[in-house]
Amino acid sequence: MRTLVLCLAGAADRPVEDLGGRTPLEAAATPHLDRVAAEGRLGRVVAAPAGMRPEEVAFVLALYGLDPSSYGDIGATLDAAGLGVEVGSLDQALRLSLVTADERTILDPTAGHVSRDEAELLLSSLGEALADDALSLHAGAAGSHLLVWAGARDVRLSTVPPYEVVERALDSALPRGTGIGRLLAAMQRSAALLPGHEVNELRRDLGENPATLIWPWSPGVSLPLPSMKERTGLSALAVGVDNAFRGAAVLQGIPVEVPAGSTGRMDSMLRAKTDAALAGLEAHDLVFLHVAALEAASHARDFVGKVELLERIDGYVIGPLLEAATRRGDLRLVVLAGPTASTESGRVLDDPVPFALFGPGVRSHRRSAFTEVGAQQSGFRVDRAHELLDFVLHLGR
């Protein structure tokens, strides 16, 4: 038996007034996704344990069957592993967002989706200006960058994701903790340097939002993860561009593939990811496929783009996966729509999210579309997300 786990990060949402009170999943035409739900088993899963943010490693660890509660301090070291950046045993890593901000608040938590090439130029200039050997800045894909703070493992930090600061007082959301003067100084230096950088001058000329401030969040320290092969006895492959998703795979000894054209944004080459995942099933028992662009659309509060992207995913991802599952007869699909990302607030929420199982050994409980309401009405709920993978792998045994 082969298993393919598809994470549609940020697909779940809450009703949007401009969509007639429907969620994007309800508004989008997704016949293939609805078939997975109707002919398979639809349910919902709690995205993160109480007290943990699903977007700060909790959901991605659970995706691989790991209990997030056991790794609550790992944070952005997953991103570091995904980027191939070493975090020493005495160091601390933080996610680093480039945002558009004024003196009062964050105006755009994605700064108009700054490209990796632009981010490299901005962060390189900032690093030179800081001239601080303890702080290293690294550009990543899909607007997710990294700051490594050497020797700061014992610094206790409290941070807020940038999309939760939009329309909120900037000063009230700054990182807090003891001994963080160096970090705040770096943020202040970025606010002085970045607005006038030539990258931002060009972005303004093109009508795009400039990246005027760095925003560190999701601190973490180095922690080992158990080997997937030793834990399950299965050979696995991870396909996707998201830093934390890739990092979690790397730390478990899972090979990672990033197909050409994968960006984590709305222009991502979806079919290339699908083809890579299907090809991976020839050599691996278990394939994880991660699509990040829906969450990016939510952070940008682009409900129209999110609906359009769901329809593209249905055609370029779900359709081919269904065809392969039907043709092979030995492939079980798991589709998760989490974590929830609101297009009205731009925030990631801890709502339970829809999931569906499809393939051999899966019996339909009640026919329903793949939506938040359909999942709730199914009566099938998994309260600990990390137990879902084990349930699927042992289904029918």
Chain-centroid distance of CA 323 in Å reads 26
The pTM is what?
A: 0.94
Angle CA 373–374–375, to nearest 5: 90
Residue with tokens 């979690």: 248
When pLDDT is averaged across residues 119-143 and rounded to a whole number, the result is 94
Q: Residue 143: is its pLDDT beyond 90?
A: no
Assign 295 a pLDDT band (cuts: 50, 70, 90).
very high
When pLDDT is averaged across residues 141-169 and rounded to a whole number, the result is 93
Assign 365 a pLDDT band (cuts: 50, 70, 90).
confident
Q: Residue 265: is its pLDDT beyond 90?
A: no
Spatial distance between the Cα atoms of 307 and 318, rounded to a whole number of angstroms: 15
Category of 330 on φ-ψ map: left (φ > 0), alpha (ψ -120 to 50) or beta: alpha
81-101: per-residue pLDDT in tens?
999 999 999 999 999 999 999
Asked if residues 349 and 14 have their Cβ atoms less than 8 Å apart, the reply is: yes
Sign for the pseudo-dihedral over CA of 203, 208, 211, 216: negative
Residue with tokens 């055609």: 315
Amino acid occupying residue 265: R
Q: How far apart are the first and last CA of the chain?
A: 11
Assign 361 a pLDDT band (cuts: 50, 70, 90).
confident
Assign 373 a pLDDT band (cuts: 50, 70, 90).
very high
The pLDDT of residue 121 is 97
What are the structural domains, with CATH classification, of the chain? Answer: 2-73+225-393 (3.40.720.10), 83-220 (no CATH)
The pLDDT of residue 101 is 97
Mean pLDDT of all residues belonging to the chain: 94
